Amino acid sequence: MKNLPEYLRKVTYALSALYAGSHVPDTLMEEPFCSVMDVLVATMLSQATTDRNSLRAFQKLKARYPSWDMILSAPLTEIAECIREAGLHNEKAERIRHTLEKIWSDTGRLDLDHLRDLRPEDAYQYLLSLLGVGPKTAACVMLFGLGHPAFPVDTHVFRVLSRLTGYSLGKSREAVQRAVESEIDPDICRDLHVFLIKHGRKICVPKSPRCDDCSLTGLCEEHNRHQRHNL
Ligand code: SF4
């Protein structure tokens, strides 16, 4: 891809026409997410489930434990029951508790506001040091919690962007994240991330993408490859 920044801008522009009016928050620092810790825990809950289920689990967790330090002394089974709707509730409860224990042991408090004072790369590396926090979750916290121009790559983002670019950005989500973050205009990180997820759920679905209904055909390497193959 010769001019990736320009290409990503074109894709963002085309998708914004499709999803104009979609709610794209400046950060997730709005109800019910009020802190960087909230964004981290909500993102951990969102792994391998729907937005609806993870949000409900998060709301139940916050209702049961209004302050994060209450979780440190709560029975794991009780925490797991509280987040059952998010799926993998036993594993997620264990990871969340382990993460809170590490943050407490590292900083003596249960918030992540100190990450605002670090260089973005240091904040990102600290997040990666937490159990159950991989590149996507760390990038979500960077983008939605701290307002840094990170580019989380989930399964939808990876699939759609890979098809669009003819699989030229990398073979793993992490590679695509690195490739995009190194070149994307920081102003469009958030919009492109959110729009690609919407497009992946609605049009560029895993099996049989709905190319006939897609307005990105002119920008899509995979679609064009199929067209050439069928000539
Ligand atoms: S043209 Fe087809 S493969 Fe390309 S982004 Fe659109 S739906 Fe996906």
Find the DSSP H helices in 108-220. 120-128, 135-140, 155-164, 173-181, 189-202
The pTM of this model reads: 0.91
Task: Name residue, tokens 């209702």.
Answer: 63
* pLDDT tens sequence across 7-29: 999 999 999 998 866 555 544 54
**Given this model, what pLDDT does residue 1 score?**
73
What is the arithmetic mean of pLDDT over 152-179?
A: 97
How big is the chain, counted in residues? 231
- Which residues line ligand 1 at a C-beta cut-off of 6 Å? 160, 163-164, 203-204, 209-211, 214, 216-217, 220, 222-223
Tell me the best of 11, 195, 199, 217 to mutate to test the pocket of ligand 1, counting ligand atoms within 8 Å of each CB and taking the most.
217
pLDDT computed for residue 22 by the predictor: 59
Just list the catalytic residues: 136
Looking at the chain, which residues constitute the CATH 1.10.340.30 domain(s)?
A: 36-145
Q: Is 4-24+151-230 a CATH 3.30.300.30 domain? A: no
* Residue percentage of the chain with pLDDT more than 70: 94
CATH class assigned to 36-145: mainly alpha
pLDDT digits (tens, 9 = 90+) for 28-87: 545 556 799 999 999 999 998 988 999 999 999 999 999 999 999 999 999 999 999 999
Considering the chain, tell me which residue range(s) the CATH 1.10.1670.10 domain(s) occupy.
4-24+151-230
State the average pLDDT over residues 145-162: 96
Instruction: Quote the radius of gyration of the chain (alpha carbons, Å).
Output: 19
